[in-house]
A = this chain, B = another copy of it.
Amino acid sequence: MENQSTGQGMFTWDGESWLSDPEDAFGFRASWKVKKVLYRELSSFQEVSVVETVGFGRALVLDGIVQTTEKDAFIYNEMITHVPLAVHPEPERVCIIGGGDCGAAREAVKYPTVQSVDMVEIDPKVVEASLQYLPEIAGHGEPDSRIRFHYEDGTAFIRNRQGTDDVIVVDSSDPVGPAAALFEKPFYQDVYRALASDGIMVCQSESPVFHPHVLKRVHRTLKELFPVVRTYLAAIPTYPGGVWSFTLASKTYDPLEQGPERLQAGANRYIDRDVYQGCFRLPVYVKELFTDR
Contact = CB atoms under 8 A, between A and B. Distances in A.
A282 interface: yes
Contact of A3 (B13, B28, B33, B233): B13
Contact of A237 (B13, B209, B274): B209
A272 B286 CA distance: 12
Interface in A205-252: 209-210, 233, 235-237, 239-243
A16 to B, nearest CB: 9
A56 B239 contact: no
A18 B243 CA distance: 23
Contact of A31 (B31, B209, B239): B31
Contact of A28 (B25, B56, B210, B241): B56
Contacts of A132: none
Given A237-B241, A242-B237, A284-B271, A55 B33 contact: no
A277 B13 CA distance: 44
A243 to B, nearest CB: 4
A71 B281 CA distance: 21
Given A1-B3, A28-B55, A55-B28, A269 B241 contact: no
Nearest to A265: B284
B5 A27 contact: no
29 contacts: A1-B4, A23-B33, A24-B55, A26-B54, A26-B56, A27-B54, A27-B55, A28-B31, A28-B33, A28-B55, A28-B56, A30-B30, A209-B237, A235-B242, A237-B240, A237-B243, A241-B242, A242-B243, A243-B243, A265-B284, A269-B283, A270-B283, A270-B284, A270-B285, A274-B281, A274-B282, A275-B281, A277-B281, A278-B281
Given A28-B56, A30-B31, 5 more contacts: A1-B5, A3-B13, A235-B235, A237-B240, A268-B284
Interface of A: 1-5, 11, 13, 18, 23-33, 53-56, 71-72, 75, 209-210, 233, 235-237, 239-243, 265, 268-272, 274-275, 277-285, 287
